[in-house]
Amino acid sequence: MSTEAPADPVPQPSAGLPNPPAGQGESALPTADAAYWEEAAASFDDEPDHGLRDPAVRSAWAARLRSWLPSAPAAVLDLGCGTGSLALLAAEQGHRVTGVDRSPRMIAQARGKLAGHDAAFLVGDAAEPPVGEQRFDAVLVRHVLWALPDPSAVLRHWAGLLAPGGRLVLVEGRWGEAEPIGIPAGELTALVEPLAAHTHVEDLSHDPVLWGKEVTDERYALIAGFPPGIPT
């Protein structure tokens, strides 16, 4: 793991914890320990793009979500949901949200944030979310996929969770200089295109308001529309 790992997608680990995983609250790397995210939960929202406490940052993410997600009301599955900041924005826009994260403390915070909204939160693995036969109009995932062992298989599984005409919204990037980590937009597009009816990539690197500061690494969103009959 690079010593130049990004501060925004990944909060820095405390002493004694294993290598930091990446993701929006999702402990995905094989070397990760669930205890990492349990401890990280207390300070997770301190990152501008995690807690969305700054009104400008919050507004910027709300505008992006409004353009990425289907018209409300839609069923949205937020995988690696962390403390539920993006889920809250989606719920405020009129969507029915289900959030999944492996950290019980993250989930507890998310439930508190979305109390009174049409939302449910489950402790579980983002790669294989415990949603049974439920299907969704959109699957939203931020900073999780790149760290999973088999992204291609995970994408097929996520596509199978979509209702006919659903869409996949992936916020990913490539961070660090000496030893870059992440997944480039071109690589992710190549994985998604065989499954999707159409894909669209938005560059997020040149919108510093999203991150609460200027960034120089690759950050993007891939939005994919899926027809009925997704191969799994």
The predicted pLDDT at position 147 comes to 81
Give a yes or no: residue 99 inside a domain.
Answer: yes
Least confident among 20-24, 29-33, 63-67, 213-217: 20-24
Q: How many CB atoms lie within 10 A of CB 89?
A: 22
207 class by beta-carbon count within 10 Å (0-12 exposed, 13-18 middle, 19+ buried): middle
Please tell me the total count of domains within the chain. 1
Give a yes or no: residue 230 inside a domain.
Answer: no
Mean pLDDT of 73-78: 98
Residue 16 has pLDDT above 50, yes or no: no
Helix 85-92 vs helix 104-113: angle between axes, to the nearest 10 degrees? 30
Assign 26 a pLDDT band (cuts: 50, 70, 90): very low
The predicted pLDDT at position 223 comes to 98
Residue 7 has pLDDT above 50, yes or no: no
The predicted pLDDT at position 228 comes to 74
Mean pLDDT of 27-40: 61
Give a yes or no: residue 177 inside a domain.
Answer: yes
Express each pLDDT in 180-227 by its tens digit: 899 999 999 999 999 999 999 999 999 999 999 999 999 999 999 988
Express each pLDDT in 107-165 by its tens digit: 999 999 999 999 999 999 999 999 999 999 999 999 999 888 899 999 999 999 999 99
Task: Residue 195: name the closest of 132, 153, 141 by CA.
Answer: 153
Strand 136-142 and strand 75-79: the pairing is: parallel
* 3-class state of residue 9 by DSSP: coil
Give a yes or no: residue 132 inside a domain.
Answer: yes
Give a yes or no: residue 62 inside a domain.
Answer: yes
Average pLDDT, the chain: 86
Give a yes or no: residue 161 inside a domain.
Answer: yes
Give a yes or no: residue 122 inside a domain.
Answer: yes
Identify the CATH number of the domain in which residue 142 sits. 3.40.50.150
Query: In which domain, by residue range, is 160 found?
Result: 34-225
Give the integer Cα–Cα distance in Å for 218 and 220.
Answer: 7
Give a yes or no: residue 14 inside a domain.
Answer: no
Residue 175 has pLDDT above 80, yes or no: yes
